[in-house]
Amino acid sequence: MCDDSRSLLGTSIQFPTTRHFPHKINKKTSWILKQSTLKKSVFAIIVFTMILIIIYSRQTQSPYLTTFIQKSTRPEPNIRCGVINGPRILQNHDHKTDARLRSYPKVLVFVETTYSKLGRDIAELLVHTRIKYKIEVTGKSVPVLTNLDKGRYGVIVFENFNKYLQMDNWNRELLDKYCREYSVGIIGFILPEEETYVGTQLKGFPIFIHNNLRLKDAALNAASQVLRLTRAGETAWGELPGNDWTIFQANHSTYEPLEWAIRNDHFQLNDSGAKTPLPTVIQDHGLYDNIQRVIFGSGLRFWLHRLLFLDSLSYLSHGQLSLSLDRKFLVDIDDIFVGEVGTRIRADDVRALINTQERLASMVPGFKFNLGFSGKYFHHGNNEEDKGDDLILENIEKFTWFSHMWNHQQPHLYDNLTLLMEDMMLNKNFAKDKGIPVDSGYSVSPHHSGVYPVHKLLYTAWKKVWNVRVTSTEEYPHLRPARLRRGFIHRNVMVLPRQTCGLFTHTMFIERYPGGREKLDEAIRGGELFQTIVYNPINIFMTHMSNYGNDRLGLYTFESVIKFIQCWTNIKLSSAPPLQLAENYFKLYPGEADPVWGNPCDDVRHQKIWSRNKSCDSLPKYLVIGPQKTGTTALYSFLSLHPAISSNLPSPTTFEEIQFFNAHNYLRGLDWYMDFFPTDTNSSAKYYFEKSATYFDGELVPKRVHALLPHAKLITILISPARRAYSWYQHTKAHGDVIANNYSFHQVITATDTAPKVLRDLRNRCLNPGKYSQHLERWMTYFSPQSMHIIDGEELKNNPFEVMNELQKFLKIVPVFNYTEHLRFDPKKGFFCQIVKGDHTKCLGRSKGRQYPPMEEKSLKYLQRYYLSHNTALVKLFKKNGMRVIPNWLKDDLSDKTDKDNY
């Protein structure tokens, strides 16, 4: 039997057929088949059981089963480099020279088109690092490069270096002369081309290129003086992105390689059989033509080039455009004690958390995980997870702590301050009972609700219960793009930008991570997470408790990225409590203290976290933006007659004008503004509008208006700027202004910068709003010409019917309102007024239509000369934007034939 069984496993033994031994063979065969079937059945049952176990473990998140399955899949940090395993090669050049004083810290970027990919990448990198820049399309004349005796730009960047080489002689000589005189360097990129060049010389330079190559294994020149942020000594192993790289070969000592790579093929073997390193980024020391340059053989797709680009800006600007090497680093772990059974952290996870924290603290001085807790869910897991809760509390002192909501409720769902405070007190009492510190002054609201868009009850409750002085969110301005995240201060609470690291509540297992481990590693090894830390001096990262159980992706991610930063940069990481981080942040960026309120109605996520008693219908559709003394009040009264239009409620201090976007009122917040536009279901009005004449020349107003009302239509009224200035002077004089009553109009408008401040202030209010082209261009930076309607103030005064009909067409308001039945000219006032009670008219107040003495001839001539360049620019602006009819007052001011008696 044993022999027969062995024979069955062989292939060389031939058995007799059943014809020779029918009974004996049939029994044997039957037994063998039964044994084989039994084995197959057992094997199938085992496989099926394993499949069921895996499915069940994933659905129920059983800690016992997931522990068994995860042992071989949980990722462990595997970053290895010289700083950890050997001596570190450190290049930490300061780059500062006296030449930095000769130009401003700003970058001039020449792009091929406004939509070109590399140009956008360059601009986004500069925005992320808060470096000032100006974009110019190549092919046009070189912009003005100097301001008095100082250069306007510290570095010049060409998206396509060939465009620099092919400039016409006039512009090329102008640009090169500027670079030499002001010690300004040039950064250029060699863009991909369909045609392959081998040993082609760059026009006018002793350097040759070979393009369209596939490369791998990049390394840096450790001796280069350019390196500052970037650390040399490592190799970026593997294929480099793209197959269109350019390499350089030079025959002049002015060139020095900054980066090398090797061909990703079988060519370029040297005598020793190894591949020859090929220069992919080179530095031009300026020995050939006295201009320093850095030239890249590829764009910014390769992460290392982003570091080298920042270092090149620093080096070529003589330290003006250097980023600090100090980075603050904090990791919040939200939702402590919150989570479904099977997803929470267990005792082993807590021990791993503590052990990893100790390793991170050795690399990041002062580092502690910052735990945000919701006490209601303490001990809401299974037995193993409850032990994890207990172990966290046994190690309270090892972490820092902050408050979430007691029941993880979104604060914007509370309309009652008392109930909101009661919820917070439950969490505070829980903390006191368990010994958790309650004095951090930091809190984060679940889902960032109430932080942005702001919910004033949240800020009030935070102050009263927790004395919150700092919070953080990634919702301002929005989750994406991360480069635009900024901080702000509201109701004395500092709101810091909070960064995401690619981990969310659902990213618990590496095999389920979107894109797998390769995608997460991409973010860590030079990708988005790595770049976030490099670009931002202060980093607060958001994670969740579930990221530290299960596959412990939080531990893997942060330990890996910190090691990678130490491998490739000279950045010095440290940590600090949130209050200290906030104080440092607003010292670095004091200009960010004032918020910019965005429109929640344009963002589904923001709508979800907006207070439920707010409505998108309570935002104005139209704005009358001024300027003052041009007829804006008259226009306001005419618009208010329309049954489909409703103005804001009056302000107790500024009457019909809210003056929100240009005044301290802006800091009162969005709720304050929207209270002027109550939703009235009984009203027939379909559209809200607002008129504040001071908006027109407000420097910050266009940006603020566009952020909150990006689709608003804008209406402005223009009259002769000379007449407007004189009218403003007479207006202030009539209202008892001491300066206006003590100085003549001519004295005011001709006051010098050495005059008393109060006199200069009045001069500026008279003159500055009349620089129409300058202010309109600022508005057109944010709004298209199609969204702006410019009214001739003289036409509005003399023929309001035609003007209002055109305005209704622009606003697309239905039904069309017949103003001829509602307006009539009043000879006593000298303008059109509202018809009331049949034959009577209701006019504007006494201050409107006031008769002034004529303007002096010398003042008129002075103002015509003063506004000549501005009026000329205004004509060009009108023509550029398709406005064919030039107002008569503008023609008159430019012709210098204005009748002074009209003033």
* The pLDDT value given to residue 880: 86
Residue pLDDT, tens place only, 749-792: 999 999 999 999 999 999 999 999 999 999 999 999 999 999 99
* The pLDDT value given to residue 42: 67
Collapsing DSSP states into helix, strand and coil, what is residue 774? helix
Q: How confident is the model at residue 477 (pLDDT cuts 50, 70, 90)?
A: confident
Collapsing DSSP states into helix, strand and coil, what is residue 259? strand
Mean pLDDT for the chain overall: 89
Whether the Cβ atoms of residue 573 and residue 527 lie closer than 8 Å to each other: no
As annotated, the binding site includes: 727, 848-852
* The pLDDT value given to residue 716: 97
* The pLDDT value given to residue 55: 58
Q: Check whether 456 has a pLDDT greater than 60.
A: yes
The label of the residue with tokens 């510190």 reads 437
Dist. CA 755–CA 529, nearest whole Å: 54
328: nearest Cα among 484, 536, 126: 536
456: nearest Cα among 410, 396, 503, 415: 415
Dist. CA 734–CA 815, nearest whole Å: 40
657: nearest Cα among 671, 643, 642, 637: 637
Distance of CA 721 to the CA centre of its chain: 38
Residue 481: asked if its preceding bond is cis (omega within 30°), the reply is yes
* The pLDDT value given to residue 21: 37
Q: Hey, what are 879's tokens?
A: 């023509």
Dist. CA 87–CA 195, nearest whole Å: 44
What's the average model confidence in pLDDT over 522-531? 97
628: nearest Cα among 692, 540, 579: 692
Q: Hey, what are 324's tokens?
A: 């600090």
* The pLDDT value given to residue 303: 98
Query: For residue 334, which phi and psi values (nearest 5 degrees)?
Result: -75, 165
Dist. CA 764–CA 770, nearest whole Å: 10
* The pLDDT value given to residue 19: 40
* The pLDDT value given to residue 3: 39
Dist. CA 452–CA 484, nearest whole Å: 15
> Is 621 among the catalytic positions?
no
Residue pLDDT, tens place only, 122-159: 999 999 999 999 999 998 789 999 998 899 999 999 99
Helices (H), 709-831: 721-734, 738-742, 745-749, 757-767, 772-780, 793-798, 800-811
Whether the Cβ atoms of residue 217 and residue 260 lie closer than 8 Å to each other: no
Residue pLDDT, tens place only, 397-425: 999 999 999 999 999 999 999 999 999 99
Dist. CA 403–CA 444, nearest whole Å: 7
Neighbouring residues of 674: CB distance < 8 A, sequence distance ≥ 6: 614, 618, 619
Neighbouring residues of 827: CB distance < 8 A, sequence distance ≥ 6: none
Helices (H), 155-270: 161-165, 169-181
Written in H, E and C, the secondary structure of 557-601 is HHHHHHHHHHHHECCEEECCCHHHHHHHHHHHCHHHCCCCCCCHH
Residue bearing the bigger pLDDT, 189 or 66: 189
251: nearest Cα among 190, 188, 209, 294: 209
End-to-end CA distance of the chain: 126
Q: How confident is the model at residue 697 (pLDDT cuts 50, 70, 90)?
A: very high
Query: DSSP label at 12?
Result: S
Q: Hey, what are 358's tokens?
A: 């100790």
* The pLDDT value given to residue 521: 97
Neighbouring residues of 744: CB distance < 8 A, sequence distance ≥ 6: none
Residue 723's Cβ-side half-sphere holds a number of Cα atoms within 13 Å equal to 19
> pLDDT exceeding 70 applies to what percent of the chain?
88
Q: Hey, what are 885's tokens?
A: 């009819």
Dist. CA 312–CA 314, nearest whole Å: 5
Dist. CA 773–CA 627, nearest whole Å: 12
Residue 785: asked if its preceding bond is cis (omega within 30°), the reply is no
Q: Within a 10 A sphere around the Cβ of 634, how many other Cβ atoms?
A: 21
Dist. CA 228–CA 407, nearest whole Å: 48
Residue pLDDT, tens place only, 795-846: 999 999 999 999 999 999 888 999 999 898 888 777 899 888 777 778 876 6
**One-letter amino acid of 893:** D
Q: Check whether 46 has a pLDDT greater than 80.
A: no
pTM for the whole structure: 0.84
Collapsing DSSP states into helix, strand and coil, what is residue 490? strand
Find the catalytic residue in 106, 275, 376, 629: 629
Collapsing DSSP states into helix, strand and coil, what is residue 335? strand
Query: DSSP label at 514?
Result: T
Dist. CA 455–CA 452, nearest whole Å: 8
Collapsing DSSP states into helix, strand and coil, what is residue 563? helix
* The pLDDT value given to residue 5: 37
What's the average model confidence in pLDDT over 539-552? 97
Length of the chain: 903
Q: Of all helices (H) and strands (E), which one includes residue 690?
A: strand 687-691
Q: Residue 378: which region, alpha, beta or left (left: phi > 0; alpha: psi -120 to 50)?
A: beta
Q: Check whether 66 has a pLDDT greater than 60.
A: no
What's the average model confidence in pLDDT over 865-882? 92
* The pLDDT value given to residue 726: 97
Neighbouring residues of 419: CB distance < 8 A, sequence distance ≥ 6: none
Q: How confident is the model at residue 275 (pLDDT cuts 50, 70, 90)?
A: confident
**One-letter amino acid of 51:** I
Distance of CA 844 to the CA centre of its chain: 46
Give bridge partners of residue 574 from the DSSP assignment. Answer: 328
Please tell me the least confidently modeled range out of 21-35, 62-76, 318-332, 538-552: 21-35
Q: How does strand 326-336 pair with strand 370-373?
A: parallel
Q: What is the DSSP string of 867-889?
A: THHHHHHHHHHHHHTT--PPPHH
Distance of CA 791 to the CA centre of its chain: 35
Dist. CA 132–CA 302, nearest whole Å: 23
The label of the residue with tokens 């027939």 reads 684
Q: Within a 10 A sphere around the Cβ of 386, how many other Cβ atoms?
A: 16
Query: For residue 499, which phi and psi values (nearest 5 degrees)?
Result: -100, 150
Neighbouring residues of 116: CB distance < 8 A, sequence distance ≥ 6: 159
As annotated, the binding site for 3'-phosphoadenylyl sulfate includes: 727, 848-852
Q: Residue 412: which region, alpha, beta or left (left: phi > 0; alpha: psi -120 to 50)?
A: alpha
Composition of the chain by helix, strand, coil, percent to 5:
40, 20, 40
* The pLDDT value given to residue 63: 42
**One-letter amino acid of 894:** L
Give bridge partners of residue 156 from the DSSP assignment. Answer: 108, 186
Give the sheet arrangement for strand 823-826, strand by strand: 823-826, 831-836, 840-842
Dist. CA 518–CA 500, nearest whole Å: 18
Q: Within a 10 A sphere around the Cβ of 805, how many other Cβ atoms?
A: 15
* The pLDDT value given to residue 126: 97
